[in-house]
Chains A and B, each alone.
Chain A
Amino acid sequence: MNWEVVIGLEIHAQLATKSKLFSGAATSFGAEPNTNTTLVDLGMPGALPVFNKEALRMAVMFGHAVNAEIGMTSVFARKNYFYPDLPKGYQTSQMDHPIVGSGHLDVALEDGTVTRVGITRAHLEEDAGKSLHEDFQGMTGIDLNRSSTPLLEIVSEPDIRSAKEAVAYVKMIHSIVTYLGICDGNMAEGSMRCDVNLSLRPKGQQEYGTRTEIKNVNSFRFIEKAIYSEIERQMDILEDGGKIVQETRLYDPDKDETRSMRSKEDANDYRYFPCPDLLPIILEQSYVDDIKASLPELPTQKAKRFEEEYSLSEYDSGVLSSSRAMADYFEIAAKVSKNTKLAANWVMGEVSKFLNQENIEINQSPVSADALGLLLSRIEDNTINGKTAKDVFQCMWLGEGSADEIIDKKGLKQVTDTGAIEAMIQGVIDANPAQVEQFRASEPDKRKKMIGFFMGQVMKASQGKANPGLVTPILNKLLNG
């Protein structure tokens, strides 16, 4: 049978506030256990929550970025369940009146098509703590540093039809929240976590099949792999005439399979009700409008501008705007070098290659955008050629100094004295009489290919320092002469 995959995603983005959603404790990652906690985060008797202004602003920013309705009256509700990392026995979240209502996102896929994914809602909620399962006297240790950290839970409509679409959507959300500066997007530290709801149905069928929820998939790659493996699992069951059990599953990247989470099987009745310790959040229209007006340029807007302003291809613009850090890096390098196309090629080429090799982000690059721009400007003003520039870049990456320092120290400056170049070329011609004869006997269109050999010899002779722009016409003249 021909199956259609139906996917909806819930993304938890940790908001980049300094203090927690309901307390004045720090949100910093990696602190000693239970040191970033207050009475509120620990659920001590008599402790009361007070809501963080900045979390509200960030949520409204996100709402605007996904073309959503903003909840002018939103209400915190308690979601009641017992778990040791949930100190109050309830999670403060939003139920009937979320801060962000329905919106949508147009997601560009690799093949150039665009698909629209509906956003059901996005709501504010507090994070829970962490259970550490290492052996502590045969027990579990509870660290509540993360308790009450602000999260924005972004719920999509079941509009996604493939693993590729899912990844493209998550990447898009990732780039939006990082562009807005409301989340650091660090998936390894859990700043962005993803739950995948997945079901299959025969192609053409209207109603949805039974879905499973895969919890906490924490990288783009794992999202894709988890989806593939869950599709396969469901398909096997359905093709054998079996039924899918609605349940929560966990993706195991080592085994590349999902498994049922038995602890969540105990069907929960969360008993949501409006939190009586917090009051409704009522927004003024002017507050919402001001945030909209001050929204930074978003990825799709930026890509469009790159295409128009810098005459870059759609593909290049998309790649360069995929993260705010890369876009900023590119724009600085372009401005300093005064050659946009060159900067684009270098950022996507050499720079990305080095970043990938070391598996680091562009904002961690040892070569700053300014430094790259200066290097490129040395290609522009013919101080060095592109090939030499790559060597200089590597030295810069290793921290050997600025482009000019390295060019100077290593004597890499191009030879631009035509007399010297001519002498060098004559030397090459004299040393290779057979090739010269063959060249001169060939048809003009074959000669074009053969000139590469002489160019290579000249470069070798000049140790790469001869300016190719000057070499070519002289070489042509002497060979044809």
Chain B
Amino acid sequence: MSLEKQDVQKIAHLARLSLSDQDAEEYKHSLSSVLDLVEQMQSVDTEGVEPLSNPLEATQRLREDVVTEQDRREAFLSNAPLTESGLFLVPKVID
């Protein structure tokens, strides 16, 4: 499996990673090698095998519908790069 530079840029955009042209060239090779490595899966017949997403195959536990948390806004906002009036600030969002 080999990727082209524009494939890498497309993936990087989906993942919101800004890549220079040189980065893209580098990742083109390293991503292709990883995809080659995982390609060997395709040689295995997994017909009829159920996908396993959790090793214990347990079921979801349910939480009682009660409010257990207090307001800790000041503590939670303390790590934010930019805030005002209790809000997180980001560059203008245009709908």
Instruction: Establish whether A and B are touching in the complex (CB under 8 Å).
Output: yes
A residues with a Cβ closer than 8 A to B are 17-19, 23-26, 32-39, 42, 44, 50-56, 82, 84, 131-133, 136-144, 250, 261-263, 269, 271, 274, 276, 278-282
Given A52-B62, A276-B53, A279-B60, does the pair A141, B73 have CB atoms closer than 8 Å? no
User: Could you tell me the distance in whole angstroms from the C-beta of B91 to the nearest C-beta in chain A?
Assistant: 6
Question: Knowing that A131-B93, A276-B54 are A-B contacts, what are 19 other residue pairs whose CB atoms are under 8 Å apart, sorted by A's residue number?
Answer: A19-B66, A19-B68, A33-B73, A34-B73, A34-B76, A34-B87, A35-B71, A37-B76, A55-B65, A133-B93, A136-B87, A137-B89, A140-B89, A140-B92, A141-B89, A262-B94, A274-B53, A281-B59, A282-B60
| Cβ-based interface call for B19 (8 A) | no
The segment from B1-9, B21-29, B34-42, B78-86 found at the interface with A is B78-86
Residues of B within 8 A of A250 (CB): 95
Determine the distance from Cα of A133 to Cα of B86 in the docked complex, in whole angstroms: 14
Given A33-B86, A82-B16, A139-B91, does the pair A38, B69 have CB atoms closer than 8 Å? yes
Cβ of B69 and Cβ of A25 under 8 Å apart? yes
Who on chain B is nearest to A282 by CB? B59
Given A18-B65, A276-B54, does the pair A140, B86 have CB atoms closer than 8 Å? no
Residues of B within 8 A of A17 (CB): 65
Who on chain A is nearest to B87 by CB? A141
Who on chain B is nearest to A55 by CB? B65
Binary interface profile of B, 25-65, with partner A (CB < 8 Å = 1, else 0)? 00000000000000000000000000001100011111111
SS class, residues of chain B in contact with chain A: loop
* Residue in B60, B62, B77, B84 whose beta carbon sits within 8 Å of that of A280 in the complex: B60
Cβ of B82 and Cβ of A139 under 8 Å apart? yes
Residues of A within 8 A of B89 (CB): 136-137, 139-142
- A sample of 21 inter-chain contacts (CB < 8 A) reads A18-B67, A24-B67, A34-B86, A35-B86, A36-B71, A84-B88, A84-B90, A133-B93, A133-B95, A136-B84, A136-B89, A137-B84, A138-B92, A140-B93, A141-B85, A142-B87, A142-B89, A142-B90, A263-B94, A279-B60, A282-B60
Determine the distance from Cα of A202 to Cα of B15 in the docked complex, in whole angstroms: 42
Determine the distance from Cα of A269 to Cα of B16 in the docked complex, in whole angstroms: 13
Residues of A within 8 A of B92 (CB): 133, 138-140
* Residue in B53, B69, B73, B88 whose beta carbon sits within 8 Å of that of A24 in the complex: B69
* Residue in B62, B90, B91 whose beta carbon sits within 8 Å of that of A51 in the complex: B62
* Residue in A33, A54, A263, A271 whose beta carbon sits within 8 Å of that of B65 in the complex: A54
Determine the distance from Cα of A15 to Cα of B94 in the docked complex, in whole angstroms: 29
Shortest 8 CB-CB contacts between residues of A and residues of B: A24-B68, A141-B87, A54-B65, A53-B62, A142-B88, A33-B86, A279-B60, A35-B71
Cβ of A141 and Cβ of B69 under 8 Å apart? no
Residues of A within 8 A of B76 (CB): 34, 37, 39, 42, 44
Residues of B within 8 A of A280 (CB): 59-60
Residues of B within 8 A of A82 (CB): 16
Determine the distance from Cα of A157 to Cα of B77 in the docked complex, in whole angstroms: 43
